[in-house]
Structure 1
Amino acid sequence: MFKTILIANRGEIACRIMRTCRRLGIRTVAVYSEADATAQHVRQADMAFAIGGPAPADSYLRQQAILDAARQSGAEAIHPGYGFLSENADFADAVSAAGLTFIGPGGDSMRRMGSKAGAKDLMASHGVPVVPGYTGESQDPSLLAREAERIGFPLMIKAAHGGGGKGMRIVHQADEFAANLESCQREAKNAFGRDRVLLERYVRKPRHIEFQIFGDRHGNAIHLNERECSAQRRYQKVIEETPSPFLDHDLRKRMGEAAVAAARALDYVNAGTVEFIVGESGDFYFMEINTRLQVEHPVTEMVLGLDLVELQLRVAAGEALPDTLLGQQPLAAHGHAVEVRLYAEDPDQGFLPGSGSLQTLTLPAPSRNLRIDSGVIEGDLVTVFYDPMIAKLIAWDSDRNLALERMREALANVQVRGPKSNVAFLERLLRHPVVVAGSIDTGYLDRHLDEFIGAGESDVDALLIAACVACLLHEEAGASESAQGHVDPHSPWNRTDGWRLGHPGKRIVALLDAGQRIEIAAHGSAGAYLLTRDAHAIRIDNALIADRFLSVCRDGVVARYKAFIDGDRITIHDGTLRRSFEKAPAFAFVESSASNSDRVLAPMPGRVVLVKACAGDEIAEGDELLIMEAMKMELTLRSPRAGRIDAIQASAGDFVEADAVLVRLEALS
């Protein structure tokens, strides 16, 4: 076994690899960019080397800098994690040429599999079903357009290199093809360094089911069962689970045999994933092979009791796969596991990635039923240069329904303050009937996104009143604590109940809900209040906060909530929904501000990749003006109204800060 390995990655996956290495007594070496100087993977490694600037191209994609760090540290092997250089055949070859072990398949195998087009042709030659399409080398736009017509619509444009949902577009009709092709190629070039694409027929209402494969240098090839990844948004996996609720024993057996056949045809070594697209009737087609560990590998580990990183290390060191895994296909799964990814993003704003300091990060405690994989802690920075994932939550139990309930319970205890997060979206998703029934397809979220965003007004009203009560109780508790150090702790001036001589007190509780100011008048104290909002009176009795739980009796009906109070932020969770409110001054000041309808602002820091308009252009509301790239995703900025462009204040290639004015429109007369 290796004594020292270098991890050519960052964040959550680097920390996860380090945990296994520590258990095995292996010394770890990290590499880091300027943006990651204080990151957790740097702090947890035994040694760490700076390798360049914050952008991936200036650091985590610099092959020679990583090899130099390996040489200086005395590392014997390099683990690439996933993303970055994990599927770069040239890097795998360079590692071997430097006398080190690459913990993954070799460069030659990777070239045969790293190209989706080449892998698809290879699978077809070995009898694995493939989706009809175009996988040729020529990337002439006119040829691709003709091939698209031949294949028929809808079709999918896919980056030939890479994965993770980047560089993929569904095209429904011919007049949409050219724009989608350009966008897909740009995204692929930025994410993977190559802009080659392939085309394939789009299978309607498909499921995404993948099989974990492993091979060793002793001729063994196996699969470690499937993972269902059909809950996706824009090709990004949102929920991963195993076993698949769709597969029966026969279909699992046939798909597993196809996955192993693919591995044997390639003389596959180390960890990989064979991904299939599965139709409604159970017909399945090869989609791609990922020559690396997958983000969702923990669900496999949870149900099989394995450490896939340890298997990777042992296979890379020349060991054979354990006898316990050979000849037992498929392996018996113990229980059910579900994974979700907690991201710094705003679902209410088109899942716009977020950045900034994690002022508050509360995650549930790990247990036998819950695993937390994260590369950040409270106080860390989510930067614009990398994927905005905060953590992965993996829940396990004896069956699927219990595993889903474990995950719902875990998410209810998550609190993120700083950049916005997708936690409320995940909670709604895990309660949705199609998810509970296990019948979701890969396009369902994109077709029905409104079912997962926002909450009903009646629900918000109950949460708002609970937040108001929590705010009152919190103020009173704070005043009582403060008064204990006062010369006269019983002075009425130390009270917060609005006491006045001769008449009952009145307080104004002002809360901001998604930026909207809401005022509630409150009379009373100590858990008994008369609240008035919009002339409607609400009686509250016996309200109490203890251990982050709020109990409220409203008009004779008692309800229980989780209440998190963090500075001026109050988050209320009723067991199903959550809502966050910001406490505002009781008396508002009216401020004038210029209308944003005359400006297009950068929604977050990022790079302008394309300017699609010019000064003087007549535009309609919703017209595309610029395309930005941030956190490995393209963002299209559109006109807020019809009019004429007064000025374009950014050029392609410019890096802009959040709220920078990119386009000015002529003022309305």
Structure 2
Amino acid sequence: MHRVISLGNARMLKSKALKSAMSASKLAKRQYFGPCKTTEKTFDKILIANRGEIACRVIRTAKRMGIKTVAIYSDADANALFVREADEAYRVGPAATSQSYLNVDAIMDVIKKSGAQAVHPGYGFLSENSSFVKQLDAAGVGFIGPQEYAMAAMGDKIQSKIIAKKAGVNTIPGYDGVVRDAQHAVEIAEDIGYPVMLKASAGGGGKGMRIAHTMEEVNEGFKLASDEAQSSFGDNRILVERFIEEPRHIEIQIIADGKGNVLWLPERECSIQRRNQKVIEEAPSTHLDDDTRRRMGEQAVALARNVGYNSAGTVEFLVDKNRNFFFLEMNTRLQVEHPITEYITGFDLVEEMIRSAAGLTLTTTKQDEVKINGWAIEARVYAEDPEKYLPSIGTLSRYQEPVDWKKPNDVRCDSGITEGSEISMYYDPMICKLSTHGQTREQAIATMEHALDRYLIKGVTHNIPLLRDVISNPDFAAGRITTAFLAEHYPSGFKGHRLTEQSAQELATASAALQFIRQAREASSATTVREDYVLLLPQLQEDGSVSKIEVAVSVELANPASSIQLQGANTFKVTSSTAGSEAKTSEITVNWSVDTPFVDVNNGSTTLQFLDPLPLGFRVQFMGTKFEIDVLAPRQRELLHFMKEKEKLDTSKLVLSPMPGTIVSVAVKPGDTVAEGAEVAVVEAMKMQNVLRAPRAGVIKAVLVTPGSTVGGDDVLIELEDEVKK
């Protein structure tokens, strides 16, 4: 029986929970690496000072190496998957990160109680906290990461830029010192020229970063960036540097040991970002040639050698259209996107980190033995509203990760959740890092499309619609990407997949066949051989409004002599037409069973998820986006125009919370007159601060929250007086 120990109280996990954890771990047992390369002695037991998917990831490699693992957990994570998978687990505090995963005293106490010989920090939290490493050193506990002096030197963006210059690494023009205040930031921006990037000196992950094109944006961005930096890292220092326009974000993974061996691994392209946080990454990059790749790698190694770096680390660059590259920062930890590097190189980066911390050499010390094997893509699956880029919280009522049974190692899911897991407002809302591999980029993309189509998530809003739309975008397929990709392709924000002629045809024919099968199941009859329908498909317009595409469809069994199968595969002849177009007839095979929501057309060339029945049809997920399909009999369609449309709720005088979170500040009071777009409040969730603005000009009628208030999504925060009619 697996034992979970708290700080003073021990408890036993129930066998049912154990079985759930074991079932959820089946995906983790897929072999992304060969047999463990390490045969030498490393550690008997390590503590993982982190949570969620990265804790599960470290546990996976530790088990391969025969190392026992110790987890720490907050009250919010008491039943989390990583707690169940570790050999031991200890409570370190309540949900708030400052009282649990950043609670160094409690963690040091657990290290002593458990007898852990070393600590793996994962990423985030204490992973780049040099004072934590100093405490471990003083206690004689190993740190599975770089040494304290290297982390301190490279973890500070201001200091690392100075070191990079001395090491001969290309750097971005900017101010090398600490920015005193907003006015100082404006002076620097005026000196180096707009646009500028304001970013936290400590930490990373997009926290404490703002782009400013004007003096006003510098003033506002400085406050928000410094507040986010303080909240996330306990350090509000901000640096200012020139923002490289039309850049690509490309990074070099390095691994090093304590014997002086340093290798650079092929690059990762991380240009698909929103709010400076990576969304989709790939390895290698379509943009680099062999010479640029080599020069970037050599500069990354020179930087690492300059500070005596050991363990895994990442040197990030901005690369312009002419392949000029500039040092951005060095992350002195394991990166979120490390799985795609592991895919194309065969290295287990966690194993290399453990070896380095144990005083062993890397599994190979020769640069010419590092090869590129195929292509890999990672999509970060988040619990968030992809239209607003805001986090979503809740319980995963249904959860099923995608599997490619033909090539199981070509789909990798790094997650720390199972069905029934809670997505909390206290932590990053990542659900999973979904990675795919192929011998070519086209194969990796196709596998990713299929995997996203077969990813089942219910209970929270998720960003699969956005991921699926980007992956299938022609510009992405052609490698035409920059860090402005999302802003350029979705200038008014992402609203969902906009049907093309081809995708509308695929959706219509599949939906008609699906309705045919549903009717037969409901009637428990296999005698119907033909049905006629009128389908209304929602179509997103350029201005954000939604219209309807009307498609007339007839469905019949391809073999009239056969009868419909209520389970499994059926082959249909489908004829469809839209107004003013010529009818098209195609033959499709549809496979759908009652125990799965997945509707596969033509052996998976098109996949729908059947979500819910509706009064006049059903809701499906197609191309990642949810579509409400009206399926009408011809006579129903004739009568539809008599139906009155539901009136829309007027929210023009309300300021609603866009997400669950905490009110940081309120800038108005009842009776104040505000202009449209004026700041009225700031709400924080997942360590990101969001400015809420007045929806229109008017007078504040009521303020329903105060700083420190906890709010839910769509809660009314501020109300304006009714507009005065002139």
TM superposition score category, shorter chain reference = 0.7 to 0.9
| 3-state SS of paired residue (2:95) | coil
Aligned position for 1:341: 380
Give 1:624 shift: 2.5
Give 1:309 shift: 0.4
Give 1:205 shift: 0.8
Give 1:594 shift: 6.5
Give 1:455 shift: 3.1
Give 1:5 shift: 0.7
Aligned position for 2:514: 470
Aligned position for 2:609: 564
Aligned position for 2:554: 539
| 3-state SS of paired residue (1:429) | helix
Aligned position for 1:524: none
Listed one character per residue, the Cα deviations across residues 208-265 of structure 1 (whole Å, up to 9, x for unaligned) are 1111112211122221221111222221112211122111111111111100000100
Give 1:137 shift: 2.6
Listed one character per residue, the Cα deviations across residues 25-61 of structure 1 (whole Å, up to 9, x for unaligned) are 1111111111111111111111111111112112111
Aligned position for 1:614: 669
User: Could you say if the C-alpha distance between residues 318 and 562 of structure 1 is closer, same or farther in structure 2, counting changes exceeding 3 Å?
Assistant: same
Q: Tell whether the 8 Å contact from 1:470 to 1:563 is kept in structure 2 after alignment.
A: no
Aligned position for 1:553: 574
Identity of aligned residues (%): 41
Aligned position for 1:331: 370
Which structure 2 residues correspond to residues 330-409 of structure 1 after superposition, within 5 A?
Answer: 331-348=370-387, 350-365=388-403, 367-409=408-450
Say whether residues 1:6 and 2:47 are aligned partners.
yes
Aligned position for 1:527: none
| 3-state SS of paired residue (1:41) | helix
Aligned position for 1:455: 497
| 3-state SS of paired residue (2:126) | coil
| 3-state SS of paired residue (2:420) | coil
RMSD over aligned Cα atoms: 3.3
User: Could you say if the C-alpha distance between residues 548 and 127 of structure 1 is closer, same or farther in structure 2, counting changes exceeding 3 Å?
Assistant: farther
Aligned position for 1:280: 321
Equivalent residue in structure 1 for 2:475, among 434, 437, 457 = 434
Aligned position for 1:207: 248
- TM-score, reference length from structure 1: 0.87
Amino acid in structure 2 at the alignment position of 1:539: S
User: Could you say if the C-alpha distance between residues 33 and 547 of structure 1 is closer, same or farther in structure 2, counting changes exceeding 3 Å?
Assistant: farther
Amino acid in structure 2 at the alignment position of 1:432: N
Q: Tell whether the 8 Å contact from 2:212 to 2:221 is kept in structure 1 after alignment.
A: yes
Q: Tell whether the 8 Å contact from 2:401 to 2:454 is kept in structure 1 after alignment.
A: yes
Q: Tell whether the 8 Å contact from 1:153 to 1:174 is kept in structure 2 after alignment.
A: no
Give 1:191 shift: 1.2
Say whether residues 1:264 and 2:305 are aligned partners.
yes
Q: Tell whether the 8 Å contact from 1:430 to 1:436 is kept in structure 2 after alignment.
A: yes
Which structure 2 residues correspond to residues 487-498 of structure 1 after superposition, within 5 A?
Answer: none
Say whether residues 1:245 and 2:286 are aligned partners.
yes
Q: Tell whether the 8 Å contact from 1:568 to 1:582 is kept in structure 2 after alignment.
A: no
Give 1:81 shift: 0.1
Q: Tell whether the 8 Å contact from 2:453 to 2:608 is kept in structure 1 after alignment.
A: no
Distance 2:224 2:438 in 1: 42
Say whether residues 1:628 and 2:683 are aligned partners.
yes
Listed one character per residue, the Cα deviations across residues 67-89 of structure 1 (whole Å, up to 9, x for unaligned) are 11121111111100001110011
Distance 1:309 1:449 in 2: 37
Q: Tell whether the 8 Å contact from 1:4 to 1:77 is kept in structure 2 after alignment.
A: yes
Query: Which segment drifts farther, 558-567 or 200-209?
Result: 558-567
Say whether residues 1:480 and 2:524 are aligned partners.
yes
Aligned position for 1:486: none
Give 1:506 shift: 12
Listed one character per residue, the Cα deviations across residues 443-497 of structure 1 (whole Å, up to 9, x for unaligned) are 222232259642336668654785476356335424539xxxxxxxx9xxxx9x9
Query: Which segment drifts farther, 8-17 or 450-459?
Result: 450-459
User: Could you say if the C-alpha distance between residues 621 and 632 of structure 1 is closer, same or farther in structure 2, counting changes exceeding 3 Å?
Assistant: same
Aligned position for 1:528: none
Listed one character per residue, the Cα deviations across residues 348-383 of structure 1 (whole Å, up to 9, x for unaligned) are 2x2111111112222211612121111112221111
Which structure 2 residues correspond to residues 169-318 of structure 1 after superposition, within 5 A?
Answer: 169-318=210-359
Query: 5+ residue gaps in structure 1?
Result: 482-489, 498-504, 521-532
Q: Tell whether the 8 Å contact from 2:533 to 2:553 is kept in structure 1 after alignment.
A: no
Q: Tell whether the 8 Å contact from 2:555 to 2:572 is kept in structure 1 after alignment.
A: no
Q: Tell whether the 8 Å contact from 2:512 to 2:533 is kept in structure 1 after alignment.
A: no
| 3-state SS of paired residue (2:409) | coil
Which structure 2 residues correspond to residues 46-61 of structure 1 after superposition, within 5 A?
Answer: 46-61=87-102
Give 1:666 shift: 1.5
Say whether residues 1:600 and 2:655 are aligned partners.
yes
| 3-state SS of paired residue (1:607) | strand
User: Could you say if the C-alpha distance between residues 663 and 547 of structure 1 is closer, same or farther in structure 2, counting changes exceeding 3 Å?
Assistant: farther
Give 1:288 shift: 0.6
User: Could you say if the C-alpha distance between residues 294 and 401 of structure 1 is closer, same or farther in structure 2, counting changes exceeding 3 Å?
Assistant: same
Query: Which segment drifts farther, 553-562 or 611-620?
Result: 553-562
Distance 2:464 2:159 in 1: 38
Distance 1:28 1:465 in 2: 52
User: Could you say if the C-alpha distance between residues 261 and 624 of structure 1 is closer, same or farther in structure 2, counting changes exceeding 3 Å?
Assistant: same
Distance 1:200 1:299 in 2: 30
Distance 1:201 1:609 in 2: 29
| 3-state SS of paired residue (1:95) | helix
Amino acid in structure 2 at the alignment position of 1:554: T
Query: 5+ residue gaps in structure 2?
Result: 1-41, 559-563, 577-583, 589-600
Give 1:649 shift: 1.4
Aligned position for 2:456: 415
| 3-state SS of paired residue (2:168) | coil
Distance 2:180 2:368 in 1: 41
Distance 1:98 1:625 in 2: 49
| 3-state SS of paired residue (1:9) | coil
Q: Tell whether the 8 Å contact from 2:398 to 2:459 is kept in structure 1 after alignment.
A: yes
Distance 1:579 1:404 in 2: 21
Distance 2:517 2:285 in 1: 46
User: Could you say if the C-alpha distance between residues 135 and 519 of structure 1 is closer, same or farther in structure 2, counting changes exceeding 3 Å?
Assistant: closer
Aligned position for 1:530: none
Aligned position for 2:594: none
Query: Which segment drifts farther, 3-12 or 136-145?
Result: 136-145
Aligned position for 1:662: 717
Distance 1:258 1:50 in 2: 43
Amino acid in structure 2 at the alignment position of 1:470: L
Listed one character per residue, the Cα deviations across residues 325-353 of structure 1 (whole Å, up to 9, x for unaligned) are 323247221111111111111112x2111
| 3-state SS of paired residue (1:597) | coil
Equivalent residue in structure 1 for 2:77, among 36, 46, 51 = 36
